[in-house]
């Protein structure tokens, strides 16, 4: 036992040891699981990056600009054209592709896991009571902390970056899916029940369609949070724009930092406007 200093009322609990013991336990008995997850995420991200790299940059820029024009308006379309053109001009195209891959894969996995959990929460108060504190924990724990287990279980590179990003950015999707479904007018739920709907029919025909705007707002939040994880993820070797910013910080290069930061802002604005526009449609 460690010696006590005079501010301690009781001998220190070995909390850190417990957590490490638990980590060791997971590594020993669930290594197959972690390897599987690593392989899947690696496979998906690598192929996604490959796909985006195959398309010539100017084609991709025009496609994104057209998409933004179609979904939002011509102003955002023009912004996409200029913004992505600038990133390309600065020479960060490969990093941009990596970051987009990281964000999109993280968000898709967050939706895949988060929306069903949100739906489950909305159906049972007991589930909500258990999940809500977990979500609070996920969101308030400093994001850096996730890097440690991410590295331990998933080694270095894109995969621990994706995992840490998912943990940090998933809660809004879960929360707002739950909230959106719970906010559906009670009388509509009653009507749906009164006409003899099964639980599945009530969900698919009434609750989820009506909760859709709220769910989409949650996904938008998840996108924004995962962008904010880009720099942190670069610390465990996730490639992308974050790496540039991280390098600029460690080497105190103001110009490089500005370039990397500006590129991230452009990407963030584009993703935000396009996802919000999709929500309105």
Partner 1 sequence: MSKIKVDRLTKVFGKRPKQAVKYLDENKSKDEILEMTGMTVGVNQASFEVEDGEVFVIMGLSGSGKSTLVRMLNRLIEPTSGDIWLGDENVTEMNKEQLRNLRRKKMSMVFQNFALLPHKTIQKNTEYGLEIQGIDKETRAQKAQEALELVGLGNYLDKYPNELSGGMQQRVGLARALANDPEILLMDEAFSALDPLIRKDMQDELLDLQQSMSKTIIFITHDLDEALRIGDRIALMKDGSIVQVGTAEEILMDPANDYVERFVEDVDLSKVLTASHIMKRAESIAVDRGPKVALKLMREYGISTLYVVDKKKKLLGYVTADDAAAAAKEQKGLEEILTSDIPTVHPDTLLADVFVPLSDDKAPLSVVDDEGRLVGIIVRGSVIGALAGDNEALNGDGGVGANG
Q: How far is the CB of 9 from partner 1 (least distance, A)?
A: 39
> Count of CB atoms within 10 A of residue 266's CB?
19
How far is it, in rounded angstroms, from Cα 198 to Cα 186?
16
Alpha-helical regions (H) of 124-156? 125-140, 143-154
Nearer to partner 1, 24 or 190 (CB): 190
Q: How far is the CB of 185 from partner 1 (least distance, A)?
A: 7
Q: How far is the CB of 187 from partner 1 (least distance, A)?
A: 4
Tokens of 74: 């011509």
Structural contact between residues 226 and 238, judged by C-beta atoms closer than 8 angstroms = no
Nearest to 227, CA basis, from 257, 252, 261, 204: 261
Q: How far is the CB of 200 from partner 1 (least distance, A)?
A: 10
Nearer to partner 1, 5 or 187 (CB): 187
Nearer to partner 1, 15 or 194 (CB): 194
Residue indicated by tokens 């599945």: 200
How far is it, in rounded angstroms, from Cα 239 to Cα 142?
21
Residues at the contact surface with partner 1, assessed by CB under 8 A: 185, 187-188, 190-198, 201, 205-206, 209-210
Q: How far is the CB of 179 from partner 1 (least distance, A)?
A: 18
Nearer to partner 1, 10 or 195 (CB): 195
Nearer to partner 1, 12 or 205 (CB): 205
């Amino acid at each position: 036992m460690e010696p006590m200093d005079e501010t301690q009322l009781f001998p220190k609990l070995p909390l850190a040891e417990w957590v490490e013991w638990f980590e060791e336990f997971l590594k020993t008995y669930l290594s197959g699981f972690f390897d599987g997850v690593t392989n899947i995420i690696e496979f998906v991200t690598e192929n996604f990056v490959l796909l985006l790299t195959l398309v010539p940059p100017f084609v991709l820029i025009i496609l994104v600009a057209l998409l933004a024009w179609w979904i939002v308006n011509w102003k955002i379309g023009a912004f996409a054209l200029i913004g992505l053109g600038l990133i390309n001009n600065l020479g960060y195209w490969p990093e941009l592709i990596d970051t987009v891959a990281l964000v999109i894969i993280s968000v898709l996995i967050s939706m895949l896991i988060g929306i069903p959990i949100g739906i489950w929460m909305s159906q049972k108060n007991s589930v909500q009571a258990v999940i809500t504190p977990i979500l609070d924990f996920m969101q308030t724990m400093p994001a850096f902390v996730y890097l440690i287990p991410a590295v331990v279980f998933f080694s270095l590179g894109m995969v621990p970056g994706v995992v840490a990003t998912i943990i940090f950015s998933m809660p809004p999707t879960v929360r707002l899916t739950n909230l959106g479904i719970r906010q559906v007018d009670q009388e509509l739920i009653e009507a749906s029940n009164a006409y003899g709907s099964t639980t599945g029919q009530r969900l698919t025909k009434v609750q989820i369609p009506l909760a859709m705007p709220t769910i989409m707002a949650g996904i938008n939040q998840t996108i924004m949070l995962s962008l904010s994880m880009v720099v942190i993820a670069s610390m465990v070797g996730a490639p992308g724009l974050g790496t540039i910013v991280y390098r600029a910080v460690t080497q105190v290069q103001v110009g490089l930092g500005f370039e990397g930061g500006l590129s991230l802002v452009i990407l963030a604005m584009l993703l935000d406007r396009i996802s919000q526009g999709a929500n309105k449609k």
